[in-house]
Amino acid sequence: MANLEDRVFLALVVLISLALAWIVEPFFGAILWGLVAAILFAPLNQRLTRRFSGRRNLAALATLLVVVAMVILPAIMLGIFLLQEASAIYVKIRTGQIDFALYFQQVQQILPGWARSMLRRLGLTNIGAVRDLIAAGVTSSFRSLAAQAFMIGQSAFGFLVALGVMLYLLFFLLRDGEELLVRMRSAVPLRAEQSSALADRFVAVIRATIKGSVVVAILQGTIGGVVFALLGIQGALIWGVMMGFLSLLPAIGTGLVWVPVAIYLFATGAIWQGVVLVLCGLFVIGMVDNILRPILVGRDARMPDYVVLISTLGGLEIFGFSGFVIGPVIAALFIAAWDILTISRSREAESL
């Protein structure tokens, strides 16, 4: 009977846990980023706690203000500037100041014969048709962006609520994080060494992923945007943000932006600008990824680059923007769990 009661109680615990997950699912993103911020800023919070003579409330509040000043406000300002620049570019497209068909014709003129033949077979040599196709695509894209902006405006209250939940949760995670971790480890039905190994790997991957991905994205996006601005390329801020986001894809991300732009510069006779962009893309923007990412990500997360790439792409596909954290974390926990299982089986085999 006792065994039956234990099973019923375990089933009840699982059911209640699933019910709680269902209730908080609308705030999954807020909870995730609150947890990520708590892990990243835990060292700062610990130093402030010591400086404030153990007053954890004051230390957590000060850390929270640092997060708002360093992360949230700059992100909001960047979003405002990005929308302003996107609106300006849209106006230039509508008024004909930016003519994509002309750019396409200039690029087509420098293509080799086999490439022009392929475009001819695809029906992409008719400049008028290409102009209409590109105009329709650009207009549709901006209308989609406008619709998204309108939806964001409508759901501004929801965004503020989610932001408030994240900051509220972050305060308590900073203040009580160590106690919560101890209680969680004692509640999880795993051996002490197993729970410690998984928790340590989880924290290490979160810190490595954010440090590596975000630092690399900021540096590559900033460098790319500055280079584009110095070369007189329109929409430098948008190009920089695009390179920053695409840098989440190791090795190939930023090249998806600067390589086509460099080809266009060569096609339009801007040879020295194209050469400068290629050199900066290969030896400055690319080196940031090749040098910093292994240092910031590979050493802490201890995962091969191909695992990071595949898990990041899969995470982005399933979870959206938050997937660039969730994907590598799941992959790292997978590797850690199998490592623990392998070690446990090896110890059991040695003891026989």
- Between the CA of residue 325 and those of 137, 205, 329, what are the distances in Å? 31, 9, 6
Q: What is the rounded CA–CA span in Å between residue 106 and residue 100? A: 10
- Between the CA of residue 329 and those of 101, 136, 205, what are the distances in Å? 44, 40, 6
Residue 53: what are its φ and ψ, rounded to 5°? Answer: 60, 40
Q: Where is pLDDT greater, at 93 or 67?
A: 67
Confidence of residue 131 (pLDDT cuts 50, 70, 90): low
Confidence of residue 65 (pLDDT cuts 50, 70, 90): very high
Q: Across residues 208-224, what is the average pLDDT? A: 80
Closest CA to 330 of 299, 308, 304: 308
% of the chain beyond a pLDDT of 70: 73
- Of 81-95, 176-190, 222-236, the one with minimum mean pLDDT is 81-95
Give the Cα-Cα-Cα angle 41, 43, 45 (nearest 5 degrees). Answer: 70
Domain extents in the chain: 25-187, 190-346
Residue 283: what are its φ and ψ, rounded to 5°? Answer: -105, -10
Instruction: Please give the pLDDT value at position 152.
Output: 47
How does pLDDT run across 270-293, given as a tens digit for each residue?
788 888 888 888 888 877 777 776
Closest CA to 212 of 83, 310, 308: 308
Q: By the 8 A CB rule, do 3 and 170 touch?
A: no
Q: What is the rounded CA–CA span in Å between residue 149 and residue 241? A: 17
